[in-house]
Amino acid sequence: MSLDALLARGREVACQPWARHVLTPDAWTELRGVVLDLLGLWADPHAVHALLHQDGAYRLASVEVRDGAFPALSPAFPAAAWFERMIADLWGHRAEGGTDERAWIDHGRWDHAAPMAARPGGPGRPQPEFLAHEGDDIHEIPVGPVHAGIIEPGHFRFSVQGETVVRLEIRLGYTHKGTLGLLNGKSPRAAARFAARLSGDTTVAHSVAFARAAEAACGTAAPPRADALRAVMTEMERIANHLGDCGAIANDAAFAFLPARFHWHREQMLAAAQTAFGHRLMMDAVVPGGVSVDIVAAGPGAIEAALHRLEVELPNLLRVYEDYSSLVDRMVTTGIVSTEQAQRFAAGGYVGRASGRDVDLRQSPGYPPYDRLELAVPVLQEGDVDARFRVRIAEIHASTLLLRSLLPALPDGPIAASLPMATGEGIGWAEGFRGDIWHWMRLEGGIITAAFMRDPSWLQWPLLQAAIRGNIVADFPLCNKSFNCSYSGVDL
């Protein structure tokens, strides 16, 4: 069935740039039979909302919560399960018929369960049991939340037979900061600092998606110079993170030379950001309405110098990578995500693109200034650690070209527009280094009354669970680094 035919049966609510369709519980349940990508699921105190995609069209659907429940979508869309658990934990809405009703980010440590509900409840739910395993000779390896390295906290429960991983179950929520709750009651301008800190590595791209949602809700657009500067920052952030990841992947294969060089280049990019925009990660530089800082006169030169050094050495680094069979042996055929799996979870970013999914929000649905720029999106089919490494290398190259066309042609004019005290709803998006980022918000008199921020990792973490199956435990760090999913981004 076509998604639009089903949505047409609902009541339309204004949301920019795409209307939201409020369905009856029965019509919502029929979504289970439609072939589509489920990109996100979230709630407010009275309804549950979904972001859906079918044949290049993005659609918003909602269902009112009745007697504390709504029909689950997880029986048809496996990615819905974590969202449904999150909705139960934060808003207290039960997903009826869901595949997993265990608690998720509520670890029983808050004063109230369902802290985002109209009326928060009593003490939270205790942390759930891990899935039981059947079969002989299976033992469990618990890892985390405090890991050996300097990374975010999370718990990995491996069920292992000999050396082989039979199942990995990931438990997150340890960095839950109540970010969504902090947005409510603030103006987009005041709330932007939370979007900038949802996942610190993606501070720019999350800020862009948040700003664009606010601008859509207000019916305002950022000035052309702001759009161009946002893209400059986004591409710098992408390059810096990909460099860090490439180094970290090689490091987990015990190949010290590559991380030394990749991290040196990463530092050059961060130092260029400091010169150009006054902050190494460019935090709070993107704000609703535009950007808060203009690029300094020395900025373009500093960025170009870093790009040039990188461009000169990158082919050599790739050759070193390919020359060492011990390294290649660890990467190739490790942690495979099939195209079918990636499609089922609608994964974006390097995880999706290394598994044959040609998706990139800069191209479709597109947003300024990318709609006037040439962009090469690398897509590979293998779906292994090596493919995720190579997609990153290709994206570093593509972002370098984008920066080279953006920097010499920055439009003149103001860097920000002021936002009216509007009432409305908007959805904004941006392609961060991990993939597709979506922010939705509702404003009443210029104040946020409901919002959601969807990090790409929501659709990638479950694939990590799938990718490690059948691999040896020792390859997990490598697999994990090649995904580099965000903890804070999904812990909210």
Could you tell me the smallest distance in angstroms from the CB atom of residue 158 to another protein?
18
Does position 197 interact with ligand SF4 (CB under 6 A)? The reply is yes
Six token digits for residue 241: 């993170």
Q: Which of 100, 267, 304, 311 binds another protein (CB under 8 A)?
A: 267
Residue type, 199: S
Q: For residue 36, give the nearest of 57, 13, 11 by alpha carbon.
A: 57
Q: CB under 8 A: which stretch of 65-73, 144-152, 303-311, 405-413 binds another protein?
A: 144-152
Answer yes or no: are the C-beta atoms of 51 and 17 closer than 8 Å. Answer: no
Binding map of another protein across residues 86-125, x = CB under 8 A, - = no contact: -------------------x-x-xxxx--x----------
Q: Between 115 and 352, name the residue whose CB sits nearer to another protein.
A: 115
Q: CB under 8 A: which stretch of 195-203, 294-302, 445-453, 471-479 binds another protein?
A: 195-203
Six token digits for residue 450: 């409901």
Question: What is the SS3 assignment for 263?
Answer: helix
**Region of residue 351 (left: phi > 0; alpha: psi -120 to 50; beta: else):** alpha
Please state at what angle helix 299-323 crosses helix 257-277, rounded to 10 degrees.
170
What residue 146 binds from another protein, ligand SF4, none (CB within 5 to 8 A, per partner kind)?
A: another protein
Q: Which residues contact 42 (CB under 8 A, 6 or more apart)?
A: 48, 49, 83, 86, 87, 440, 452, 454
Strand pairing report for 47-54 and 57-64: antiparallel
Answer yes or no: are the C-beta atoms of 69 and 96 closer than 8 Å. Answer: yes
Q: Give the number of residues in contact with another protein, rule: CB under 8 A.
A: 53
Does position 178 interact with ligand SF4 (CB under 6 A)? The reply is no
What residue 309 binds from another protein, ligand SF4, none (CB within 5 to 8 A, per partner kind)?
A: none
Q: Which residues contact 132 (CB under 8 A, 6 or more apart)?
A: none
Could you tell me the smallest distance in angstroms from the CB atom of residue 398 to another protein?
22
Q: How far apart are CA 68 and CA 374, in angstroms?
A: 48
What residue 332 binds from another protein, ligand SF4, none (CB within 5 to 8 A, per partner kind)?
A: none
Could you tell me the smallest distance in angstroms from the CB atom of residue 256 to another protein?
10
What residue 112 binds from another protein, ligand SF4, none (CB within 5 to 8 A, per partner kind)?
A: another protein
Does position 200 interact with another protein (CB under 8 A)? The reply is yes
Tokens 């009651």 locate to: 185
Answer yes or no: are the C-beta atoms of 365 and 16 closer than 8 Å. Answer: no
Strand pairing report for 37-43 and 20-23: unpaired
Q: For residue 347, give the nearest of 476, 436, 466 by alpha carbon.
A: 436
Q: Which of 21, 167, 230, 266 binds another protein (CB under 8 A)?
A: 266
Query: Which of the 8 DSSP states describes residue 365?
Result: I
Q: Which of 270, 295, 306, 314 binds another protein (CB under 8 A)?
A: 270
Q: Which of 200, 224, 301, 368 binds ligand SF4 (CB under 6 A)?
A: 200
Does position 281 interact with another protein (CB under 8 A)? The reply is yes
Does position 178 interact with another protein (CB under 8 A)? The reply is yes
Q: CB under 8 A: which stretch of 55-63, 262-270, 293-301, 407-415 binds another protein?
A: 262-270
Residue 195's CB is within 10 A of a number of other CB atoms, namely 32
Binding map of another protein across residues 372-411, x = CB under 8 A, - = no contact: ----------------------------------------
User: Which sign does the torsion angle of CA 222, 228, 229, 231 carry?
Assistant: positive
Q: Which of 32, 197, 397, 404 binds another protein (CB under 8 A)?
A: 197
E strands, 244-293, in order? 286-287, 290-291
Q: Which of 5, 150, 297, 312 binds another protein (CB under 8 A)?
A: 150
Q: Give the number of residues in contact with ligand SF4, rule: CB under 6 A.
A: 2
Does position 203 interact with another protein (CB under 8 A)? The reply is yes
Does position 279 interact with ligand SF4 (CB under 6 A)? The reply is no
Six token digits for residue 398: 């593509």
Binding map of another protein across residues 300-319, x = CB under 8 A, - = no contact: ----------------x--x
Q: How far apart are CA 460 and CA 485, in angstroms?
A: 7
E strands, 162-301, in order? 164-171, 286-287, 290-291
Does position 244 interact with another protein (CB under 8 A)? The reply is yes
Answer yes or no: are the C-beta atoms of 58 and 52 closer than 8 Å. Answer: yes
* CA angle (463 as vertex; 461, 465 as ends), nearest 5: 80
Does position 46 interact with another protein (CB under 8 A)? The reply is no
Q: Between 202 and 220, name the residue whose CB sits nearer to ligand SF4.
A: 202
Q: How far apart are CA 141 and CA 331, in angstroms?
A: 23
Answer yes or no: are the C-beta atoms of 108 and 97 closer than 8 Å. Answer: no
Does position 181 interact with another protein (CB under 8 A)? The reply is yes
Q: CB under 8 A: which stretch of 254-262, 332-340, 364-372, 405-413 binds another protein?
A: 254-262
Q: Between 186 and 404, name the residue whose CB sits nearer to another protein.
A: 186
Binding residues (CB under 8 A) for another protein: these are 105, 107, 109-112, 115, 145-146, 148-153, 173-179, 181-182, 193-194, 197-201, 203, 244, 257, 260-261, 263-264, 266-267, 270, 274, 280-281, 283, 316, 319-320, 323, 486-488, 491
Binding residues (CB under 6 A) for ligand SF4: these are 197, 200
